[in-house]
Amino acid sequence: MTRRELIGLAGTAALALAFAWPSAARAQQTSDPRVAGLIQAGKLRVGLFSTQFTKDAATGELKSVRVDIARALAARIGVPVVLLEHRTPLDVVQCLKSGACDVVFLPFDERAASAGDFSPPFIQSEYTMLLPAGSPVGRIADADKPGVRIAAVRGHASTMTLTGIIKQAEIVLADDEQATFELLRAGRADVFASTRQLLLKFSKTLPGSRVLAGYYGANLNRVVVPKGHAGWLAYVSEFVEEAKASGLVQKAIDRDGTFAFQVAPPGDPK
């Protein structure tokens, strides 16, 4: 077993204890034929892109709501989790397409629709805007004016929503979150539009900046599995609904401590 898998196994065990899946139920589920392939492989490979986790500088351990959910899912199956780091959402879609990832976390949209099938949502995060010190923008509508430049991440779900509502402002795209933030920091954009979670993190590094209280949409994050695995999708969907109802998702949000997420409603609004 590799060092990364050993770390994943330790994290899985910790999350299993923290979230306390009933041992009898876990034993029953690990023999579930719907996940027989994963049990035979002996691991759950989960693809994450850069804004979906933070990394402990000393230990290299990944932390976030999605990381906790990944570990809890692996614990329920009874296998170690392997967390695979990627730079962008499109990178994790490619990981899913290539068969290198068993699971990724994305909203329901066309990016992964041809490559994967989606569980009900487990968390939701609002799309909003980060403003530099002295910005006159007070609400979302104020940003949609001629001459206003809105920085956004190319291919991100928040950007797809943004392009559907912005009529007058200019949307300036960059390839990843850090590059998009640099547009704002350097004065080449007036506003940065993305998820509240990401913008709250960047606001800490830009003195005097603020994140709008209002929002222009929401990211409903789901577990995505490769196409053609109906049993696996049913298993994951069952896990998601149990995790929401049992309080496991709320515990993961509380551990994260950013106050950027809410538990998604029961069922599937799509």
Query: Tokens at residue 181, please?
Result: 């933030």
pLDDT higher than 80, residue 53: yes
Number of domains in the chain: 2
The answer to whether residues 133 and 247 belong to one domain is no
The answer to whether residues 242 and 180 belong to one domain is no
Tokens 């230990």, residue located = 59
d(CA 225, CA 117): 5
Segment 14-28 shows an average pLDDT of 43
Domain enclosing residue 77, as ranges: 3-122+221-263
The answer to whether residues 68 and 151 belong to one domain is no
pLDDT higher than 50, residue 25: no
Name 46's Cβ contacts closer than 8 Å, sequence gap at least 6.
70, 74, 81, 82, 83, 84, 101, 102, 103, 104, 105
The answer to whether residues 22 and 89 belong to one domain is yes
pLDDT tens, residue by residue, 204-238: 999 999 999 999 998 899 999 999 999 999 999 99
The answer to whether residues 134 and 189 belong to one domain is yes
| Percentage, residues of the chain above pLDDT 70 | 88
Determine contact, residues 64/57, Cβ cutoff 8 Å: no
Name 82's Cβ contacts closer than 8 Å, sequence gap at least 6.
4, 5, 8, 43, 44, 45, 46
pLDDT higher than 60, residue 83: yes
The answer to whether residues 166 and 239 belong to one domain is no
The answer to whether residues 44 and 165 belong to one domain is no
Determine contact, residues 204/187, Cβ cutoff 8 Å: no
d(CA 131, CA 134): 8
pLDDT tens, residue by residue, 230-259: 999 999 999 999 999 999 999 999 998 877
141 occurs within a structural domain:
yes
The answer to whether residues 24 and 153 belong to one domain is no
The answer to whether residues 118 and 229 belong to one domain is yes
Segment 74-86 shows an average pLDDT of 97
pLDDT tens, residue by residue, 123-157: 998 999 999 999 999 999 999 999 999 999 998 88
Max Cα distance, the chain (Å): 61
270 occurs within a structural domain:
no
The answer to whether residues 95 and 7 belong to one domain is yes
Q: What is the CATH number of the domain that holds 173?
A: 3.40.190.10
268 occurs within a structural domain:
no
pLDDT higher than 60, residue 23: no
pLDDT higher than 90, residue 31: no
Q: At 27, is the pLDDT very low, low, confident or very high (cuts 50, 70, 90)?
A: very low
| Percentage, residues of the chain above pLDDT 90 | 73
pLDDT at 4: 43
103 occurs within a structural domain:
yes
pLDDT higher than 60, residue 22: no
Q: At 12, is the pLDDT very low, low, confident or very high (cuts 50, 70, 90)?
A: very low
Segment 176-203 shows an average pLDDT of 95
Choose the weakest-confidence range: 25-34, 112-121, 203-212. Answer: 25-34
pLDDT at 260: 76
Determine contact, residues 125/195, Cβ cutoff 8 Å: yes
User: Strands 103-106, 217-226: parallel, antiparallel or unpaired by DSSP?
Assistant: antiparallel
The answer to whether residues 212 and 255 belong to one domain is no
